[in-house]
A and B are shown apart, each in its own frame.
Chain A
Amino acid sequence: MINITSIDREEALRWLSCTDESSISETAAAYLDECEKRLLAEISPKYLYKYFPLDFDKGRPVIKDCVLPLEGNDIAAHLQGCTGVILMCGTVGSGADRLIRLMQVEDMAKAVITDAFAGAVCEQVMNTAEQMIAEELSGKYITWRYSPGYGDFPLDIQKQLLNVLDAPKKIGLCVSDSGMLTPVKSVTAVIGVSDSPLPQRLRGCAVCNMRERCRFRKRGLHCGF
């Protein structure tokens, strides 16, 4: 569904907390190339989305004709002023998990690099999907992607969210009992849709609930949120 021919290396290196590409040794650089090539051969990126009209009930967002609850103050604030909502999910596919498993036996350094590359691909998949959705909705205004687990938007809606999208059947994306998406390199998200321009939503460390334990922030870096 999405054709990805190269991986955003800068993003992957950020995941690996590498700020200076020139500091990478020759051996490690060769690893980066090898891992990118092998990962690209294993991925099968896919995404799904559905549009629903949105209502507000005493300030709480309610999706029309859909049983998925949108709980928490943060998602309510995020969707403020929206008349519709896009539920979406994307995955790199189980091939990436398989490759990372194999590499953990073959060579841990490759596994770490491939893990980061796969994270970067996942981001690319979601970005591409969002772009396509934005094109479909041309003329409308949309918020950025808000995922379960951000702020007080509960993680445990994953199962229902995937179910609404029919994701297990349509793209093989499931959730484990412990709330982990499988394949692991997958994302779910909610995007607000409006007919009129939306106020800029706050992003960044100040409003992030990972603030206190973020490994990027610890190093003076930023995850992109």
Chain B
Amino acid sequence: MDFKKLLTDNKFVFLDGAMGTMLQKSGLKTGEIPELLNITHPEVIENIHSMYIESGSDIVYANTFGANRFKLEGCGHSVSELIRAGISCAKRACEKSGREAYTALDIGPIGQLLEPTGSLSFEEAYDIFKEEILAAEEADLIVIETMTDLYEVKAALLAAKENSDKPVICTMTFEENGRTFTGCSCSAMALTLEGLGADAIGVNCSLGPRELMPVVQEICRWTTLPVAVKPNAGLPDPVTNLYDVSPEEFAEAAAGFSEMGVKIFGGCCGTSPEYIKALTTVLGEKEFIERDVNIPSAVCSYSNTSVIDQPRIIGERINPTGKKRFKEALKNGDINYILGQAIEQAQAGADILDVNVGLPDIDEKAMMVRTVKALQGVTDLPLQIDSTIPEVIEAALRVYNGKAIVNSVNGEEKSLETILPIVKKYGAAVVGLALDENGIPKSAEGRFAIAEKIMNRAIEMGIPKRDIFIDCLTLTASAEQEGAMETVNALERVKRELGLKTVLGVSNISFGLPNRELVNSNFLQICLSRGLDLPIINPNVPSMTGAVRAYKLLANIDKNASEFIAAYNNAAPSPVQAAQTGLNVSPEGLLYAVRNGLKQDGADITEKLLETTDPMTIVDEMLIPALDSTGADFESGKIFLPQLILSAGVAQAAFEVIKARISKDGDSVSKGKVVLATVKGDIHDIGKNIVKVLLENYGYEVIDLGRDVEYQAVADAAMPDDVKLVGLSALMTTTLKSMEETIALLRKVKPSVKIVVGGAVLTPEYAEKIGADFYARDAKATVDAAKQIYG
């Protein structure tokens, strides 16, 4: 019999209890590496396993929880040695017991935070876990436990699935608010991990059994997988560190979990063989209850689940099609522009964001990965990965921290064959376009038939029906007027007869017509009333978002109109954009706006001034002096940093207006290029970003390499002839070394480039010592350096 059989049998499965608690009892010093005992005192470890098996555990966790290369660094033994030794201890205990017991490779958190909060990349995390998994071929199964970051679990689970064929149990640690430290929710965990192919999921550690009840209940709602629960023995006393729940109470509470349909039981911190004994005794008298769950259609980020039980808006703005500014941003790798688009849509009411970064002359895969990683650092909206290239889709799904939608597959054989396996592997949802090698069928019947074909193929592949969304395709009404209602009819049939969710890009309907907004919002209304679930629209257009909100109100989805009222009734104007009446269109007016942080006024005044004044005159004679005067006030301590930045923001708004005017005339406003980077190892980049804002507002073009930047990446970016200045930032004494290395490399590859450095721990002397040309004590000083170089 193997472990998979245990999972499918109609019985409870028993895990073991705490290892750490037992080791402390046998004299482990605080801070010592517990895995070393696998080699120094294997008998102690084996004995603990034996006690657990005797008390009823079907599965024992090998003493490998922290056996990763980060935690073991400098301990004198390799990951592989300690894992092999740990698994041997557990295996010996299983064999000697004469019972059917299994050994699990126990994988705990690496001990370092992953990007974006930490600096460990997803790929490195994968690699660390892969090393552990490869060392454990003797184990019967793999357990990934005590995780608080869904991203880390994903790295571990992918590593397990791709490097072994063992079953995997994933358990995370939740707080009483139903979330982990990093904000992961129960539904996001369940949707993501079931999609990725975990064999069982659940919760361990965290709290005592009683406090975990609501968490476990929630997990049970969101997964069809067997659920595992391994609680602590209550809550620890902060001083004595002793736990407050007895074995009997523990088992009684656990019996409550069995009523919810939990299948796998064990104990975590503070538990011992007595707790497992009590568990097996109490549950021995109970029957395992098979859960009957009906999981709704839903997608999620690590923290935000969007349930498609009502119309949800997919924001379409992250897409370069027909957008000059967006294309420029993609070519320049200007990720902040793209992030800005995300935040704007989120604030406007988008529920999900479509992400398309396809452009003929860029590396779409690399850009997609970078964009997805950056987006999930600033927004919790679930993403829809929009690309025609399977490799791009796969790369995006791999690094996505949640359950995404893939946009799209279609009825063509080649598309079905390449896209659906990727969707299945990563557990995504998928948009099926109702077209095939013969194009888009004119009739609703034709599109329905393709939708049905896509559905059947996806189901064959193991993709559940709830994760298949059909796009019946909007045609342009001005070209094919009779087509509009065919789309609507097809959509209605797909929804009613196939029972699938529907998705539709709406804006295309009005192409070539006047008053497009009117046509769009009316078409949207029609579609919604006939069953559209996922309109793909520009949420920044109030009539479009409004149409969805009004529909939800009228269809009695938005109960008590609470969302509608929240959106429109309480729409207090932002305090920052306080109404300014009577624009003072003059150089003084612009100066006033800049000094007082009045962004809209600054832009409006500039717009008006441009009617009579040369753009460069406004820049050189008004904006730059205004910035200089606020800069001087900042230096003398009259105003504080946020005010300087606010002023810079106004100047930026004015610059945008001027840029739009100049680009019409085909001129350029750039005063020169500056490469900026926060050095390798350093993830706190707020200082660098302040510098960026100021430089841009003085008219410099900034190539922002971000944070934790490899030496070589800085060197590469500095190579073009027109880059004369590189700015480096470091916050920590420990990363000054990286700054020095980066400078050394720059000096080697491009001796002519000037380097300005800044950061909290730098001194002018140190800057000189490591070979920088300029020391910037603050952001303003970097602008002064740029002025010296470029004028």
Interface positions of A (Cβ within 8 A of B)? 13, 16-19, 23-28, 30-34, 44, 49-52, 65-68, 93-95, 97-98, 100-102, 104-113, 115, 136, 149, 155-156, 159-160, 163-164, 168-169, 171-172, 174-180, 182-184, 210, 212-213, 215, 218-219
Question: In the complex, how many angstroms separate the beta carbon of A221 from the nearest chain B beta carbon?
Answer: 10
**B761 contacts the other chain (Cβ, under 8 Å)?**
yes
Q: Is A98's CB under 8 angstroms from B377's CB? A: yes
**B39 contacts the other chain (Cβ, under 8 Å)?**
no
Among all A-B residue pairs, the 4 with the closest Cβ atoms: A172-B181, A178-B681, A18-B640, A27-B597
Knowing A108-B693, A213-B761, A215-B760, say if A101 contacts B116 (CB, 8 Å): yes
Q: Is A163's CB under 8 angstroms from B689's CB? A: no
Chain A residues lying within 8 Å of B340, measured Cβ to Cβ, are 105-106
Chain A residues lying within 8 Å of B238, measured Cβ to Cβ, are 49
A101→B343 CA distance, assembly (Å): 12
Subset of 21 A-B contacts with CB under 8 Å: A24-B643, A30-B576, A30-B578, A32-B642, A94-B181, A98-B377, A100-B686, A101-B378, A107-B649, A112-B642, A113-B642, A160-B31, A163-B31, A163-B71, A169-B109, A172-B182, A176-B118, A180-B681, A180-B732, A180-B735, A183-B117
Q: Is A65's CB under 8 angstroms from B29's CB? A: yes
Across the interface, name the chain B residue whose C-beta is closest to A158.
B734
Knowing A105-B339, A176-B120, A182-B118, say if A13 contacts B640 (CB, 8 Å): yes
Knowing A108-B689, A108-B690, say if A177 contacts B112 (CB, 8 Å): yes
Knowing A94-B183, A174-B118, A215-B760, say if A50 contacts B30 (CB, 8 Å): yes
Chain B residues lying within 8 Å of A213, measured Cβ to Cβ, are 760-763
Question: In the complex, how many angstroms separate the beta carbon of A20 from the nearest chain B beta carbon?
Answer: 8
Across the interface, name the chain A residue whose C-beta is closest to B120.
A176
A105→B733 CA distance, assembly (Å): 27
Q: Is B637's CB under 8 angstroms from A111's CB? A: no
Chain B residues lying within 8 Å of A102, measured Cβ to Cβ, are 343, 378-379
8 Å CB contact of A169 from B32, B146, B343, B646: B146
Q: Is B578's CB under 8 angstroms from A164's CB? A: no
A174→B777 CA distance, assembly (Å): 30
Interface positions of B (Cβ within 8 A of A)? 29-32, 71, 108-109, 111-113, 116-120, 146, 148, 173, 180-183, 205, 238-239, 336, 339-340, 343, 377-379, 575-576, 578, 596-598, 637-643, 645-646, 648-649, 681-686, 689-690, 693, 731-735, 738, 760-763, 777
Chain B residues lying within 8 Å of A160, measured Cβ to Cβ, are 31
Q: Which of A30, A31, A50, A109 has the most CB of B within 10 A?
A: A109
Q: Is B649's CB under 8 angstroms from A33's CB? A: no
Chain A residues lying within 8 Å of B239, measured Cβ to Cβ, are 51, 136
Q: Is B378's CB under 8 angstroms from A112's CB? A: no
Q: Is A164's CB under 8 angstroms from B379's CB? A: no
Q: Is B733's CB under 8 angstroms from A149's CB? A: yes
Chain A residues lying within 8 Å of B732, measured Cβ to Cβ, are 178-180
Chain B residues lying within 8 Å of A171, measured Cβ to Cβ, are 181
A32→B642 CA distance, assembly (Å): 9
Knowing A33-B575, A115-B686, say if A25 contacts B119 (CB, 8 Å): no
A184→B707 CA distance, assembly (Å): 14
8 Å CB contact of B646 from A28, A98, A159, A168: A28
Across the interface, name the chain B residue whose C-beta is closest to A137.
B239
8 Å CB contact of B638 from A23, A136, A149, A183: A23
Chain A residues lying within 8 Å of B117, measured Cβ to Cβ, are 94, 97-98, 182-184
Chain A residues lying within 8 Å of B336, measured Cβ to Cβ, are 105
Across the interface, name the chain B residue whose C-beta is closest to A213.
B763
Q: Is A183's CB under 8 angstroms from B763's CB? A: no
A108→B762 CA distance, assembly (Å): 22
A31→B683 CA distance, assembly (Å): 25
Q: Is A180's CB under 8 angstroms from B734's CB? A: yes
Chain B residues lying within 8 Å of A184, measured Cβ to Cβ, are 117, 683-684
Q: Is B182's CB under 8 angstroms from A180's CB? A: no
Q: Which of B113, B683, B731 has the most CB of A within 10 A?
A: B113
Chain A residues lying within 8 Å of B180, measured Cβ to Cβ, are 172
Chain B residues lying within 8 Å of A168, measured Cβ to Cβ, are 109, 111-112
Chain A residues lying within 8 Å of B578, measured Cβ to Cβ, are 26-27, 30
Knowing A102-B343, A177-B112, say if A112 contacts B641 (CB, 8 Å): yes
A177→B734 CA distance, assembly (Å): 9
Chain A residues lying within 8 Å of B762, measured Cβ to Cβ, are 213
Across the interface, name the chain B residue whose C-beta is closest to A66.
B30
Chain B residues lying within 8 Å of A33, measured Cβ to Cβ, are 575
Chain A residues lying within 8 Å of B643, measured Cβ to Cβ, are 24-25, 28, 109
Question: In the complex, how many angstroms separate the beta carbon of B685 from the nearest chain A beta carbon?
Answer: 8
Chain B residues lying within 8 Å of A49, measured Cβ to Cβ, are 238
8 Å CB contact of B734 from A28, A93, A109, A178: A178
Question: In the complex, how many angstroms separate the beta carbon of B763 from the nearest chain A beta carbon?
Answer: 4
Chain B residues lying within 8 Å of A180, measured Cβ to Cβ, are 119, 681-684, 731-732, 734-735
A31→B578 CA distance, assembly (Å): 12
8 Å CB contact of B343 from A100, A105, A163: A105
Chain A residues lying within 8 Å of B596, measured Cβ to Cβ, are 25-27
8 Å CB contact of B575 from A30, A149, A172: A30
Chain B residues lying within 8 Å of A179, measured Cβ to Cβ, are 732, 734
Q: Is B646's CB under 8 angstroms from A27's CB? A: yes
Q: Is B642's CB under 8 angstroms from A212's CB? A: no
A180→B118 CA distance, assembly (Å): 9
Question: In the complex, how many angstroms separate the beta carbon of A217 from the nearest chain B beta carbon?
Answer: 12
Chain A residues lying within 8 Å of B684, measured Cβ to Cβ, are 180, 184
Chain A residues lying within 8 Å of B689, measured Cβ to Cβ, are 104, 108, 111
Q: Is A182's CB under 8 angstroms from B683's CB? A: yes
A41→B595 CA distance, assembly (Å): 31
